[in-house]
A and B are shown apart, each in its own frame.
Chain A
Amino acid sequence: MSHDHDHDHETPSGPALRAEALEALLLERGLLDPAEVDAVIANYGERVGPLNGARVVARAWTDAAYRQRLLADGTAAAEELGIVGGPGGQMERLVVVENDPAVHNVVVCTLCSCYPWALLGLPPRWYKDPAYRSRVVREPRAVLREFGVEVPAEKALQVWDSSAEVRYLVLPERPEGTEGLSEAQLAALVPREAMIGVAVLQALAGEGA
């Protein structure tokens, strides 16, 4: 595609080519089953995904006892819904932080883009970008404003930096106007961004609005 990389002396090393070469080598050595690789892609693209996180949020909104358990031990509460496993089958400790009228939470991984894959699927592009990772710590209100989220000055803003051991998930505030919705309908309202903390859910227009 791009023709501006240098052709001086090196062997061709476009990342796509290198990826293909690596797969070929591993296949040759019998270390790899290409169908399994395809399955991983399909799993993250289709079955895993923000839907799992949204199910957790919707359950917490509709079941006060579950919400308590979720805030006390996110890993166990996710497992209750059958959500387990990142790579290698293990899930890092999940800590769920709750937004309320006094506090807004936002999640980042400054070190390497750690992300609760089992709950949110693959990380969005901006999450991995150095600009987000450094700026959200230094000036979270400004970054959130760019996402269209205005956090009032009187509201505390808590930034959670993921680590090798802990993944954070934001439990957003349940929007007004959703009293009559079922758990599944609620889950459909919760986008990935709200569970990272860079979006807030708007009240549903309709009755009473």
Chain B
Amino acid sequence: MAPQQGGDARLQLGAEVAPPTENGELVFEAPWEARVFALAHHLCDAGLYSWDDFREALIAEIAQWDAAHPRGEGYVYYERFQAALEGLLVSRGLVAPGALEAETAKLAARPHGHDH
């Protein structure tokens, strides 16, 4: 009676997934993935680029990964997604080259206390 669900574990793709409790399940591994996903959509909605532009950047990122990993090592999908978004924003002049690294370093230098 219950329809087949998931199948994730049976494909043995290397990580457990949150059990699909119901149809509306979110499928992010970590909160940052959802932020990056939503960010890409929001900026597209805001007209900074078309979704085609983004998709091309994503395809290129994944192709680049595949070319660099001939034995088929997997990638984290949202890391490719993130790289595509970053590259697109830099190429559009919306983020200055190097600014992201500088900002990341600044955030990393915050006093810790939890996460690390």
A142 to chain B: closest CB distance in Å? 11
Within 8 A of A (CB), among B3-22: 3-8, 10-15, 17, 20
Asked whether, in the complex, the Cβ of A148 is within 8 Å of the Cβ of B10, the reply is yes
Asked whether, in the complex, the Cβ of A114 is within 8 Å of the Cβ of B108, the reply is no
The complex places the Cα of A13 from the Cα of B82 at a distance, in Å, of 12
The complex places the Cα of A123 from the Cα of B29 at a distance, in Å, of 12
From DSSP, what is the main secondary structure of chain B's interface residues? helix
Given contacts A11-B108, A22-B85, A50-B24, contact A146 B11 (CB under 8 A): yes
A185 to chain B: closest CB distance in Å? 13
Chain A interface category by residue count: 35 or more
Given contacts A15-B82, A16-B32, A40-B42, contact A124 B17 (CB under 8 A): yes
When the two chains form the complex, which single residue of B7, B51, B85, B115 contacts A88, counting CB atoms closer than 8 Å?
B51
| Nearest B-chain residue to A205, judged by Cβ | B1
Asked whether, in the complex, the Cβ of A164 is within 8 Å of the Cβ of B55, the reply is yes
**How many residues on the B side are at the interface (Cβ–Cβ under 8 A)?**
73
Which A residues touch B86, using CB under 8 A?
18, 22
Which A residues touch B24, using CB under 8 A?
45-46, 49-51, 121
Asked whether, in the complex, the Cβ of A17 is within 8 Å of the Cβ of B7, the reply is no
The answer to whether the Cβ of A72 comes within 8 Å of any Cβ in the partner chain is no
The answer to whether the Cβ of A122 comes within 8 Å of any Cβ in the partner chain is yes
The answer to whether the Cβ of A128 comes within 8 Å of any Cβ in the partner chain is yes
Asked whether, in the complex, the Cβ of B3 is within 8 Å of the Cβ of A130, the reply is no
Given contacts A126-B8, A132-B13, A190-B3, contact A37 B44 (CB under 8 A): no
Which B residues touch A147, using CB under 8 A?
4, 7, 10-11
Asked whether, in the complex, the Cβ of A122 is within 8 Å of the Cβ of B30, the reply is no
Interface stretch among A24-32, A61-69, A75-83? A24-32
The complex places the Cα of A24 from the Cα of B11 at a distance, in Å, of 38
Which B residues touch A200, using CB under 8 A?
4
Given contacts A125-B27, A147-B11, contact A24 B1 (CB under 8 A): no
Which A residues touch B107, using CB under 8 A?
17, 20-21, 24
The answer to whether the Cβ of B105 comes within 8 Å of any Cβ in the partner chain is yes
**Given A16-B32, A189-B3, 7 more contacts at CB 8 Å?**
A41-B37, A41-B38, A88-B50, A111-B62, A126-B7, A148-B7, A199-B3
Closest 8 CB pairs of A and B: A199-B4, A12-B108, A147-B7, A21-B103, A40-B38, A16-B32, A19-B32, A49-B24
